[in-house]
């Protein structure tokens, strides 16, 4: 084919020039995604390695925690077994005093009673001393105003000498442990005498 000036014109399309790589080589079409795939592959390997490391760390922490639980359980069992060891050691001398009092021989009934009384007094003193070491103290209820927080009233009794609503008898002592009530005092509470006049 010729143009208006008689020059021949080619009807064939020009071929696209191949892409040139940085190293000077031509790269085939469609190879532009290669670097991106490599980066994704590297990131995946890094993530897999991190996940493996975290999993191993998790296994170690889990094993350490299980060992800790077992150790604490053993220690608690030992504590439960021997928590009262000190208290038992304080009570044993009291048992000794009772055994000595029962085993003692006396020349007469009067001596026997006196020896028994002394043995009981020694035992009671030893027991109270042992309780005080563990912060156990008796409540002082006699002649005190009745307090339901510390006293358990079992009855009332008319009295002309005690003020009304006052502890006039203590049937059983109450006790505190570290200032906390562990047993209330069992008491009898006073009331005014009945001064009602016969209506007849």
Condensed to tens digits (0 to 9), the pLDDT of residues 173-187 reads 899 988 899 899 999
Instruction: Kindly state the average pLDDT of the residues 26-30.
Output: 52
pLDDT higher than 90, residue 116 = no
pLDDT of res. 200: 45
pLDDT higher than 60, residue 49 = yes
pLDDT of res. 89: 75
Q: Which residue has the higher pLDDT, 38 or 94?
A: 38
- CB atoms closer than 10 angstroms to residue 184: 19
pLDDT of res. 32: 56
- Mean of the per-residue pLDDT values for the chain? 79
For residues 166 and 144, is the Cβ–Cβ distance under 8 A? yes
Split at pLDDT 50, 70, 90, the class of 164 is very high
Please give the Cα distance from 124 to 57 (Å, whole number). 61
pLDDT of res. 11: 52
Which of 126, 128, 96, 102 shows the shortest CA–CA distance to 116? 102
Domain ranges for the chain: 42-80, 136-193
Architecture per CATH, domain 136-193, reads as Roll (2.30)
pLDDT higher than 90, residue 147 = yes
- CB atoms closer than 10 angstroms to residue 187: 27
pLDDT of res. 135: 87
Is the pTM of the predicted complex or chain greater than 0.75?
no
Q: How many residues does the chain have?
A: 200
């Amino acid at each position: 084919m010729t143009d208006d000036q008689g020059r021949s014109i080619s009807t064939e399309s020009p071929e696209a020039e191949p892409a040139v790589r940085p190293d000077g080589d031509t790269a085939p079409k469609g190879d532009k995604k290669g670097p991106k795939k490599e980066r994704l592959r590297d990131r995946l390997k890094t993530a897999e390695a991190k996940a493996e490391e975290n999993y191993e760390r998790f296994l170690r922490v889990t094993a350490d925690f299980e060992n800790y639980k077992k150790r604490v359980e053993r220690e608690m069992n030992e504590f439960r077994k021997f928590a009262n060891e000190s208290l038992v050691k304080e009570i044993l001398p009291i048992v000794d005093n009772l055994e000595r009092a029962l085993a003692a021989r006396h020349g007469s009934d009067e001596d026997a009673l006196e020896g028994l009384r002394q043995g009981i007094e020694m035992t009671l003193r030893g027991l109270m001393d042992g309780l005080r070491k563990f912060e156990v103290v008796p409540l002082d209820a006699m002649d005190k105003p009745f307090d339901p927080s510390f006293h358990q009233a079992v009855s009332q009794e008319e009295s002309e000498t005690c003020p009304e609503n006052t502890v006039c008898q203590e049937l059983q002592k109450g006790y505190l442990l570290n200032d906390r009530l562990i047993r209330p005092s069992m008491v009898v509470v006073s009331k005014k005498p009945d001064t009602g006049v016969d209506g007849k």
